[in-house]
Amino acid sequence: MPRRYRVNVSAAEPVSSGAPAGVIAGAEGRGGRRRRRRLILLIIGIVLLVLVAAVAWLGFRVIQVKDSLERAQGLIGDLQSQVASDPGSLVGTVGEITDATDQARAGSSDPVWRVAEIVPVLGRNLTVVRELVGTVDDLADNALEPLATVAGQLDSSAFSPVNGRIDLAPIADAAVSVAAADDAVQTARTTVNGIDADGTLEPVASARDQLVGVLGDAASLTSGLRAATQLLPPMLGADGPRNYVLMIQNNAEARALGGNPAALVLLTVDDGAISITGQGSSPDFRADRSLVPDPAIYDAYYPHFPSFITDITTRPDFPTAASLAKSFWEKYKGGTVDGVLSLDPVALSYLLKATGPVALITGDQLTSDNAISLLLSDVYARYEDPRLQDAFFASAAAEVFSAITSGNVDASALLAGLQKAGAERRLLLWSDREDEQSIIATTPIAGILPTSNDETTAVGVYFMDRSISKMDYYLDTSVTSASDQCTADQPTFTVSVTLTSAIDQATADSLPSYVASETFGGGTFQTDVYTLGPVGSTFEATDSPDAVISGGTDLGRPVVGLNVLLAPGESRTVELTFRGEPGAEYGPLATWTTPMVRPTLVSESTPGC
């Protein structure tokens, strides 16, 4: 209502409307409060609207990321089948995969997503998802793309000889792309291992753990492929001829690395062409301790073994055995040896799945089903003369090798057989070139125990026949390794080894002495068990102190040798303990063993890990 004024000589005063002053002030206060409430409610409404929109948008982004990753996962399944059936389509499929992972990355990098990462509980899950998605996208761009470009020229057939020769050009051409892919996989593996998913929802933590496993497998494959593309061209004579001793280890007479290497074949390679140029067996080489560079390192085993070529595989280190094989061959057979390759009859049985039956000069058909029994048992019933046994052994290996190099093989089965033999340490390789050997040393076929406990905490259990027999054809072995490394400041490592004779007395009595035992006949079988503790540990005790025959330190590890005697059908278990270093870090427990005729059963226990 307008206010009226009247004027007098003393002052100008407002004319009252008739309402008391207090009533007017109260009305004005209530109106202001209503206006403020309306303003606050409006602000709250706007904030809620924004939050609802943000949550809806975030939900949309989560669904988008999920759908994109599922689409990529389906395409990866297609990719795996196309590798074998249609390599030419790989580049297109990889392009679709990268589109899907790019969309997933864009969704998880959205500003709303990033802001939501500060929200307690929810935010931690969103952060881990974003980091995982980013890693997958990097893999698609930096690993799948370069691998797809070479897959068409570098399938399994690229590694198989045709008419005695491997074409080295496509292998050499693929080296750069394969190296780039391996770098990307190794980087992704390191990144994901460093992502902390503790406290996240189960699906998020599970996704992280699954990716760790997938990347571990992928890292092994890409590093192996990288080593192959780097090594094969020079080692197969791209730069000039090379000579390699192929050593066939006889697991029926066990040694740490496999068996008695009594049969040897010389291979010559030149620009991918492979030929057999010589053969040898144990009688061709005299006992010669002068070839041993440092006899002291063998005191932990038994002092005489490096004098004989039949015993050079006793130390569980293939570079040692290979360098000794090279020295023996060069001294007693002549020429220059550039490297050593080792296989055993079990590995040959894997390769025979790729070649099919192989005809031997004796009229026998060697197959993947009968190779082990024929080479490690039947031959001894047929030939009493060790020279004839070794000759049969070497001839069989040469025939299998010739069948492989002819090119009439199943390339996929051949590659699978080689991979299986390598994983079981039945296939080993050494080069006398330092640059090549440094690459081989990073692969499973190096035959080298880990030099630290960072990646894995390895214990070794190795067997050696001391009966001068072929009785390990009938020997079952098992190893149980246990450690409290995840709960104790100074852990204890316990290794339990069981040996069981799988032959009855009547059968043992029927065997010729050169099979049963030159020393004990069929009554007793003698095996040395060499146990190596983790790097830096110390030997504490064994429950069989009377069986201890040697001890010391080798390869940075404590070594204990026990001698175990078994009657036919008997079983015996020995146990050893080692003490770790206080406060040291230990990787996952792993057990390395001799590749026996009958594979050693291994179990491991690390409570609290």
Whether residue 276 is predicted with pLDDT greater than 70 in this model: the reply is yes
pLDDT (mean) for 63-89: 56
Query: Residue 436 in contact with residue 235, Cβ under 8 Å?
Result: yes
> Tell me, what's the pLDDT at 51?
41
d(CA 50, CA 19): 46
Q: How far is CA 51 from CA 55, 112, 118, 459, 504, in A?
A: 6, 10, 14, 57, 79
pLDDT in tens, 592-607: 999 999 999 999 999 9
> Tell me, what's the pLDDT at 46?
44
- Predicted confidence band of residue 31 (pLDDT cuts 50, 70, 90): low
Task: Tell me the CB-side half-sphere exposure of residue 580, using CA atoms within 13 A.
Answer: 26
Query: Residue 551 in contact with residue 560, Cβ under 8 Å?
Result: yes
Per-residue tokens: 112: 């709303």
> Tell me, what's the pLDDT at 87?
58
Rounded to two decimals, the pTM is 0.82
Residue among 69, 428, 17 nearest 249 (CA): 428
Task: Give the least confident one: 109-123, 218-232, 358-372, 506-520.
Answer: 109-123
Task: Give the least confident one: 13-17, 88-92, 508-512, 580-584.
Answer: 13-17
Residue with tokens 């029994």: 373
pLDDT (mean) for 262-267: 90
d(CA 59, CA 67): 12
Q: How far is CA 293 from CA 43, 256, 281, 289, 290, in A?
A: 86, 20, 23, 9, 8
pLDDT (mean) for 296-317: 83
Per-residue tokens: 569: 């059908």
Chain center to CA of 504: 38
In the chain, % of residues over pLDDT 70: 82
Residue with tokens 């004098």: 307
pLDDT in tens, 145-177: 887 777 766 666 677 778 888 889 988 998 998
> Tell me, what's the pLDDT at 604?
97
pLDDT in tens, 522-575: 778 999 999 999 999 999 999 999 999 999 999 999 999 999 999 999 999 999
pLDDT (mean) for 407-414: 85
Please report, for the chain, the start and end positions of each structural domain, with discontinuous segments joined by +.
4-35, 43-235, 242-438, 449-605
> Tell me, what's the pLDDT at 298?
76
Residue with tokens 């059963």: 601
> Tell me, what's the pLDDT at 8?
46
The more confident residue out of 128 and 193 is 193
pLDDT (mean) for 581-589: 95
d(CA 540, CA 580): 10
Whether residue 372 is predicted with pLDDT greater than 70 in this model: the reply is yes
> Tell me, what's the pLDDT at 57?
41
> Tell me, what's the pLDDT at 35?
64
Hey, what amino acid is at 112? V
- Torsion, CA 182, CA 187, CA 189, CA 193, rounded to 10: 170
pLDDT (mean) for 284-299: 82
> Tell me, what's the pLDDT at 37?
58
Q: How far is CA 84 from CA 78, 181, 405, 544, in A?
A: 11, 19, 22, 53
Per-residue tokens: 430: 């050494």
pLDDT (mean) for 338-356: 95
453 three-class SS: coil
Per-residue tokens: 541: 């005790």
Q: DSSP class of residue 599?
A: P
Q: Which helix (H) or strand (E) holds 437?
A: helix 434-440
Whether residue 199 is predicted with pLDDT greater than 50 in this model: the reply is yes
Mean pLDDT, the chain, as a whole number?
83
> Tell me, what's the pLDDT at 306?
64
- Predicted confidence band of residue 38 (pLDDT cuts 50, 70, 90): low
Residue among 223, 153, 143 nearest 177 (CA): 143
Burial class (CB in 10 A: 0-12, 13-18, 19+), 286: exposed
In the chain, % of residues over pLDDT 90: 48
> Tell me, what's the pLDDT at 17?
45
Q: DSSP class of residue 604?
A: E
pLDDT (mean) for 345-371: 93
* CATH code linked to domain 449-605: 2.60.40
Q: DSSP class of residue 375?
A: I
> Tell me, what's the pLDDT at 535?
98
φ/ψ of 589, rounded to 5, equals -70, 135
Query: Residue 482 in contact with residue 605, Cβ under 8 Å?
Result: yes
CATH architecture of 242-438: 3-Layer(aba) Sandwich (3.40)
pLDDT (mean) for 365-389: 88
Whether residue 387 is predicted with pLDDT greater than 60 in this model: the reply is yes
Whether residue 267 is predicted with pLDDT greater than 50 in this model: the reply is yes
Per-residue tokens: 560: 């204990």
Which pairs count as long-range contacts for 277-282, CB under 8 Å and 24+ apart, including other chains? 277/243, 278/333, 278/335, 279/394, 279/398, 280/329, 280/332, 280/333, 280/394, 281/387, 281/390, 281/391, 281/393, 281/394, 282/308, 282/309, 282/310, 282/386, 282/390
pLDDT (mean) for 348-367: 92
> Tell me, what's the pLDDT at 145?
81
- Predicted confidence band of residue 79 (pLDDT cuts 50, 70, 90): low
Q: DSSP class of residue 141?
A: I
> Tell me, what's the pLDDT at 209?
85
> Tell me, what's the pLDDT at 336?
97
d(CA 324, CA 327): 5
d(CA 25, CA 46): 32
